C-alpha cells in the first residue's frame, strides 16, 4: 500500500486478480476499490486496515495497515496594519493568499506574501491561504485593520486667533492648512494661533503621531473686535457722547484740555469747557476683545448775530405814538437768516439774560422811542447771546384828499388821458419833502410797487379810482398816507355845431337888434335833455373855451 492524501493505493506483489476490502471499516467515509485496492475519500493521516484475498486455487488473505499522508499545514497569522494587514505563514510556506470575501474598499492582497494594502482603517478582511505541497490545504483567517488615530480637536476663538483642545490622540502636530495673510502664527505643539486679526477665519490641521496617523482640519474664526464706535454732540461748554457700539466702556481725554473742561468716564459728557474749543476723546470697550476709538469734536460757538437797526413803524389810526407791532419782522436781520437761532424779546436786559418774562408778540410799545432787549438762542446747542433794539413809532404824513380829475371825451368812448400829477398840489397843500405815487390798486400802493408814471389812460370806462401813496422823502420807513383819487371821463355833448341863424327885424335900420339866443338852444342840444345840459353863449371862441376858468 502507498499512502495518498485521502487514503492509499495498492500494488499486488503476489497473485493478482484478488479482492481488496477494509479489514476494519473506516469511520471517516473512506471507500476502497475492491479490484485495485485504491482508498479514496478518507482523511489525512488516518490508518486504514486493508485485506487482499486471492482468487487462485488456494486463496489466501493478506492484511496490510496503511496511514494516509499528513495534510499540508496551511496555518498562518495576520498582523493588522493601518490600511490592511501583513501575513506570517506558520505552516507550509510557498502557498497562495487570496481574499476569501472580496473587499469593497479598494484593498488589494499580495498573493505571495498575503500583505493587504490600500484598505480602510478598522475594516475586517477574510483571507485564505492554500498550500502547494503534497496535500494542499486552505486556511481562512479574518483580520481587522488598525483603528485610525483619533485626530479630532476643537478650536476656541480668541481676539487675535484661537486656542486648540485635542479631543483625540494627543501629541500630534498643528499647522495652518491654508497660510494666513495677516501675520498670524500657530504653535505646532499646542495649536494656539496668535498675532492674527479680529473676525478672521483660519484653517488648521492636526496630524497624530500614533500607529495610524490621521489629519483633521478645522476652520475657526477669531472673535469680532468690540465695536468702540461713538459720536459726540457739541454743547456750549463741551459735548455729550452717544455710544453706537458696545456700551459699558470708559471715556477719557486722549489729549488733556487746557480750558478746565472735565469728562465723565462713564457717560463721556464733557462739561465746564469753553466755546468753540477742540477736544479729542477716546472710548475703550470692556468686552471680550476691547478696542478704542478716538473722536475729535469742538464745543459749540456762541450765536453770530447782527445788532438790529431801529424798528420803525407807522402809527395807527390814533396818532398817539403807540402801536401794536410784530417784532419778529427783525428776526432774520438779527440772525442773519440762520434758521437754527430762536429770537425772543424782553423789557429788561436782566430778563433777556435769564429768559424770564418774554414779550408777547405782537407787542405794543409803552414809550416812544423805547429800547427792548433781545435773546438769541442756538436751538441746537442752547448757547445764547443778547442785544438790544430801539423802537420808533412814526406818524404818516398829513395829506388832503384830492378833487376829482375830469377829462372831456370828444369821441364819447369813456376813455381819456390824465396827468395825475395835477392833483399833487392839492394833496400836499404846499408841504415839501413828500413823495407822491399813484397806483391802480390799493395793494400796489401799500406795497409801493407798479407806480403810474407819465400820462395815464384810464382802464375803467368813465369813472375809475386811483390809489395815492404819500410818504416822507427823508424818513426811511414804510409809514405812508393812503388816499383815493377819482378820475372821471365826461363825454363832450354831441350837439348841432351849425345851428340855424337867428334873425330879427331892424326897425330903425341901424344894423343892431335884440336877440334871444336861448331860442337856438333846443336846436343846438339836438335832442339832448335840457335838464342835463346847460347852454351858454359867448362873443368869442376863447371865452367859450375858458368857461370853466371864469365861472
User: pLDDT 10s per residue in the chain (551 long)?
Assistant: 999 999 999 999 999 999 999 999 999 999 999 999 999 999 999 999 999 999 999 999 999 999 999 999 999 999 999 999 999 999 999 999 999 999 999 999 999 999 999 999 999 999 999 999 999 999 999 999 999 999 999 999 999 999 999 999 999 999 999 999 999 999 999 999 999 999 999 999 999 999 999 999 999 999 999 999 999 999 999 999 999 999 999 999 999 999 999 999 999 999 999 999 999 999 999 999 999 999 999 999 999 999 999 998 877 767 788 999 999 999 999 999 999 999 999 999 999 999 999 999 999 999 999 999 999 999 988 899 999 999 998 888 889 999 999 998 888 899 999 999 999 999 999 888 899 999 999 999 999 999 999 999 999 999 999 999 998 876 655 678 899 999 999 888 778 888 999 999 998 889 999 999 999 999 999 888 889 888 999 999 999 888 654 33
**CA distances for 172 relative to 120, 164, 203, 208, 214, angstroms:** 21, 12, 17, 4, 9
Q: How far apart are CA 26 and CA 384, in angstroms?
A: 131
> Which letter, b or e, does each residue of 369-379 get, where b requires 16 or more Cβ atoms within 10 Å of its Cβ?
ebebbbbbbbe
Closest Cα to residue 207, out of 188, 194, 193, 224? 188
Residue 54: Cβ within 10 Å count: 17
Q: Name the grid cell of 511.
A: 344894423
Containing 278, the helix (H) or strand (E) segment is: strand 278-284
The residue written with cell numbers 429770537 in the block is 343
Q: Name the grid cell of 341.
A: 437761532
Q: Determine the number of helices (DSSP H) and then strands (DSSP E) in the chain.
A: 7, 40
> Is the bond preceding residue 348 a cis peptide, omega within 30 degrees?
no
How far, in whole angstroms, is CA 270 from its chain's centroid?
A: 29
**CA distances for 324 relative to 320, 357, 392, angstroms:** 12, 18, 12
Closest Cα to residue 257, out of 240, 238, 243? 238
**CA distances for 231 relative to 114, 267, 296, angstroms:** 77, 12, 10
How far, in whole angstroms, is CA 517 from its chain's centroid?
A: 102
> Which letter, b or e, does each residue of 306-327 get, where b requires 16 or more Cβ atoms within 10 Å of its Cβ?
eebeebbbbbeeeeeebbebeb
Give the strand pairing for 324-325 and 39-40.
Answer: unpaired
Residue 273, CB-side half-sphere exposure with 13 Å CA sphere: 29
**CA distances for 6 relative to 19, 23, 24, 136, 438, angstroms:** 21, 17, 17, 11, 152
- Any idea what DSSP says for residue 337? T
**CA distances for 178 relative to 181, 182, 194, 216, 399, angstroms:** 9, 12, 15, 13, 100
Amino acid at each position: 500500500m502507498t499512502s495518498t492524501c485521502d487514503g492509499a493505493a495498492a500494488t499486488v506483489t503476489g497473485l493478482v486478480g484478488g479482492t481488496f476490502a477494509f479489514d476494519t471499516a473506516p469511520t471517516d467515509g473512506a471507500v476502497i476499490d475492491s479490484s485495485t485496492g485504491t482508498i479514496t475519500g478518507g482523511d489525512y493521516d488516518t490508518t486504514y486496515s486493508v485485506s487482499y484475498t486471492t482468487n487462485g486455487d488456494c486463496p489466501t488473505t493478506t492484511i496490510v495497515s496503511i496511514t494516509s499522508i499528513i495534510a499540508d499545514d496551511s496555518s498562518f497569522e495576520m498582523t493588522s496594519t493601518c490600511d490592511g494587514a501583513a501575513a506570517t505563514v506558520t505552516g507550509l510556506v510557498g502557498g497562495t493568499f487570496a481574499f476569501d470575501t472580496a473587499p469593497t474598499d479598494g484593498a488589494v492582497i499580495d498573493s505571495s506574501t498575503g500583505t493587504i494594502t490600500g484598505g480602510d482603517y478598522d475594516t475586517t478582511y477574510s483571507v485564505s491561504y492554500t498550500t502547494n505541497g503534497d496535500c494542499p490545504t486552505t486556511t481562512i483567517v479574518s483580520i481587522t485593520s488598525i483603528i485610525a488615530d483619533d485626530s479630532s480637536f476643537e478650536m476656541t476663538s480668541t481676539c487675535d486667533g484661537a486656542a486648540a483642545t485635542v479631543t483625540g490622540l494627543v501629541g500630534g502636530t498643528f499647522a495652518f492648512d491654508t497660510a494666513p495673510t495677516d501675520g498670524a502664527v500657530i504653535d505646532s505643539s499646542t495649536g494656539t494661533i496668535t498675532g492674527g486679526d479680529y473676525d478672521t477665519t483660519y484653517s488648521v490641521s492636526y496630524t497624530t503621531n500614533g500607529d495610524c496617523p490621521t489629519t483633521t482640519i478645522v476652520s475657526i474664526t477669531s472673535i469680532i473686535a468690540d465695536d468702540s464706535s461713538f459720536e459726540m454732540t457739541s454743547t456750549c461748554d463741551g459735548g455729550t457722547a452717544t455710544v453706537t457700539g458696545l456700551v459699558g466702556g470708559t471715556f477719557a481725554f486722549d489729549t488733556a484740555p487746557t480750558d478746565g473742561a472735565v469728562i465723565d468716564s462713564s457717560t463721556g459728557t464733557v462739561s465746564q469747557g469753553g466755546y468753540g474749543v477742540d477736544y479729542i476723546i477716546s472710548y475703550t470697550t470692556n468686552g471680550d476683545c476691547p478696542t478704542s476709538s478716538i473722536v475729535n469734536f469742538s464745543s459749540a460757538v456762541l450765536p453770530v448775530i447782527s445788532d438790529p437797526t431801529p424798528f420803525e413803524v407807522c402809527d395807527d389810526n390814533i396818532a398817539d405814538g403807540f402801536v401794536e407791532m410784530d417784532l419778529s419782522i427783525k428776526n432774520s436781520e438779527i440772525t442773519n437768516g440762520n434758521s437754527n437761532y430762536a429770537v425772543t424779546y424782553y423789557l429788561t436786559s436782566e430778563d433777556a439774560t435769564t429768559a424770564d418774562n418774554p414779550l408777547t408778540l405782537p407787542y405794543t410799545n409803552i414809550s416812544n422811542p423805547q429800547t427792548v432787549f433781545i435773546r438769541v438762542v442756538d436751538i441746537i446747542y442752547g448757547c445764547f447771546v443778547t442785544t438790544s433794539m430801539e423802537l420808533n413809532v412814526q406818524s404818516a404824513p398829513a395829506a388832503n384828499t384830492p378833487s376829482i380829475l375830469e377829462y372831456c371825451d370828444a369821441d364819447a368812448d369813456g376813455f381819456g388821458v390824465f396827468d395825475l400829477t395835477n392833483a399833487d398840489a392839492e394833496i400836499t397843500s404846499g408841504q415839501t419833502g413828500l413823495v407822491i405815487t399813484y397806483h391802480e390798486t390799493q395793494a400796489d400802493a401799500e406795497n409801493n410797487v407798479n407806480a403810474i408814471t407819465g400820462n395815464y389812460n384810464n382802464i375803467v370806462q368813465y369813472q375809475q379810482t386811483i390809489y395815492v401813496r404819500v410818504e416822507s422823502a427823508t424818513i426811511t420807513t414804510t409809514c405812508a398816507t393812503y388816499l383815493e383819487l377819482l378820475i372821471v371821463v365826461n363825454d363832450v355833448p354831441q350837439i348841432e355845431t351849425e345851428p340855424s341863424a337867428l334873425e330879427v327885424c331892424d326897425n330903425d335900420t341901424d344894423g343892431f337888434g335884440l336877440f334871444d339866443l336861448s331860442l337856438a338852444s333846443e336846436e343846438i342840444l339836438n335832442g339832448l335833455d335840457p335838464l342835463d345840459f346847460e347852454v351858454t353863449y359867448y362873443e368869442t371862441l376863447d371865452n367859450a373855451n375858458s368857461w370853466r376858468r371864469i365861472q
